[in-house]
Chains A and B, each alone.
Chain A
């Protein structure tokens, strides 16, 4: 029976009942049940399932199940369940409904067999997730959420326009591998690129995620960008350009991550950097690299959620997430600190942690393909990610100098969510077999070779050495209360100034026009007044004598004209 319900629909439809359940414990249990039932439902679906029907002349395929969609489906369900446990203390129905609909839409998108269905879910993730930002209920979040939703709905519009052009060119809306020829696929690629936070299209991510609620950011970190990675892997595997786009993505955000003060924004930059690895995997397009993209998305969702959870707990307990105001929290939040370190080790790809067994598939695939420049960049980004995420995040939050803050340990539900996520990060790293078994293609790769373990440890430990060296010599830039300009400056400053200039010019023109008009009217009134007013020539009461004189003059003139 459950295999006849499209994936994701259980969460979306189930969300409707959430506000009706008044008892918090019942509501939490119900919410947790939804992704678990959905996950079980997925296990009942055989790869190769394909539902299709005709509607409005299009052949739609709302559900297409294969290995690639399944692995994203599994991890989206797991991420939803973990995020829900992390949010057990929340009593805000807006966030709860938004979180469920958002997760459901992302899951549905991963199983969409045609571009129109994909579009519907694509927009679904945008309009549901923005409530996780607005739920912060402050001015910054309101504005940031507005920018976020405009950008994402815009991405959806591009996707739909691209899909229509693609349909006119090929006669099909099926969502399969496309070649980048013509405007249709180009628009679709841009739509995917916006959601995947390609360089210069990326700023919505660093703008919005740190403004979302403590629990909302954990949801957000899992779905939107990974749905885009899935869509790229489905639509554009082997597109050469993506190798370079991805390589730029791995390198460019980490410079920002080093100097950023808001630790949740640091994580948003490193999220962007990790997406770069996945995009490189899509671009290389070999079985190994696509496996790498899928595997890395899987482990990335877990460790990134874990890092956002730990920083969320810090924000929840201390009211701030700024490196300049934190430090020494390990004393009273040891569990959170420990879980954060597990997440940090995983994102840094330490042996025995999840990132090690997934990222290496992509880097090895790049080396196998002879892409040596890209390989050097990925290695640089790997060292860099350890530097700014692996060390900086735990160091500035939990260690460095003592901030004097003595917050309570994170709430129990947060600790449980972090504990399970940390367990999964380690389990995947220690036993990669089960994850490798569900990848889209057969895996012929052994991550734990002497060369790989030693070289990876060398890379990482020497990065730590660099951190220690820069700290002890005082070269390391201190955490400062500040914002750093990024590409969003262009639409947050000049664009606004231009808009304001237009508004001002408009009002000036209007004022000018009105004063001009007023002057004309005044003149008209004055002239009328002069001629017709009480003292006007035409309104004067004339004396009878002069009137007779004038009449006589007129008569004389008339006579003269008559005879002439």
Chain B
């Protein structure tokens, strides 16, 4: 519905190589942020926080765990889209 006239313009992101550029850029930013821990004094509440790169490692591990756990969860919980439509009748 309401489709604008189709344009066949190619966008910067249409090129796979540019998506790769973003990915490598992200890797570079991660490396810089990880290294940043060497250059300032961290004010911490808990011992673990002062470990080198704690927040980065924690964020990465947390998200991988989140997604992998959700995959397992989905296997148990997934139902067809009209699952409740049948029950509600």
Contacts and interface: CB of A to CB of B under 8 A. Distances in A.
A461 B26 contact: yes
Contacts of B63: 383-384, 387, 462-463, 466-467, 470
B45 A375 contact: yes
Nearest to A147: B88
B2 A408 contact: yes
A470 B64 contact: yes
Interface magnitude class on chain B: 35 or more
Contacts of A467: 63
Contacts of A493: 84, 87
**Which of A143, A367, A383, A405 has the most B CB atoms < 10 Å from its CB?**
A383
B67 A466 contact: yes
A559 interface: no
Interface in A392-425: 399, 402, 405-408
Contacts of B66: 254-255, 258, 380, 383-384, 387-388
Contacts of A484: 73-74, 77-79
A475 B68 contact: yes
Contacts of B49: 455
A482 B79 contact: yes
A232 interface: no
Nearest to A464: B26
15 contacts: A255-B69, A258-B66, A317-B2, A380-B58, A383-B63, A384-B66, A388-B66, A402-B14, A407-B2, A408-B4, A463-B63, A467-B63, A470-B67, A472-B23, A483-B84
A316 to B, nearest CB: 9
Interface in A244-287: 254-256, 258-259
A458 interface: yes
A119 B5 CA distance: 53
B88 to A, nearest CB: 5
A460 B78 CA distance: 29
Interface string B15-43: 00000000100110110011011001111
A181 interface: no
Interface string A180-195: 0000000000000000
Interface string A138-151: 00100100000000
A556 interface: no
A392 B4 CA distance: 25
B83 to A, nearest CB: 5
Contacts of B11: 330-331
Interface string B46-89: 10010001111111101110111111011011111101110110
Nearest to A485: B77
A153 interface: no
Interface stretch (A299-307, A446-454, A510-518): A446-454
B33 A458 contact: yes
Contact of A485 (B34, B43, B79): B79
A465 B60 contact: yes
B57 to A, nearest CB: 7
B5 to A, nearest CB: 8
B87 A492 contact: yes
Contact of A259 (B74, B81, B83): B74
B42 A383 contact: no
Contacts of A461: 26, 29-30, 33, 56, 59
A379 B62 contact: yes
Interface of A: 140, 143, 254-256, 258-259, 317-319, 330-332, 367-368, 372, 375, 379-380, 383-384, 387-388, 399, 402, 405-408, 449-451, 454-470, 472, 475-477, 480-486, 492-493, 496-497
Given A255-B66, A450-B40, A462 B78 contact: no
B77 A460 contact: no
Contacts of B44: 451
Given A458-B56, A465-B60, A466-B64, A367 B45 contact: yes
Nearest to A370: B45
A367 B46 contact: yes
Contacts of B78: 259, 480, 482-484
Nearest to B45: A367
Contacts of A472: 23
A383 B59 contact: yes
Contact of B60 (A259, A379, A402, A466): A466
Contacts of B81: 481-483
Given A458-B59, A484-B78, 11 more contacts: A368-B45, A383-B59, A383-B62, A451-B42, A451-B43, A454-B37, A461-B30, A462-B33, A483-B78, A492-B88, A497-B87
B35 to A, nearest CB: 11
A379 B58 contact: yes
B87 A255 contact: no
A469 B3 CA distance: 34
B70 to A, nearest CB: 4
Given A461-B33, A493-B87, A258 B67 contact: yes
A458 B56 CA distance: 5
Contact of B70 (A258, A457, A464, A485): A258
The 6 closest A-B pairs by CB, nearest first: A466-B63, A367-B45, A462-B59, A258-B70, A458-B55, A459-B59
Nearest to B29: A461
Given A399-B13, A476-B67, A482-B81, A384 B62 contact: yes
A475 B71 CA distance: 9
A468 B62 CA distance: 14
A36 B85 CA distance: 42
Nearest to A369: B45
A383 B83 CA distance: 32
Most chain B CB within 10 A, of A456, A458, A477, A481, is at: A458
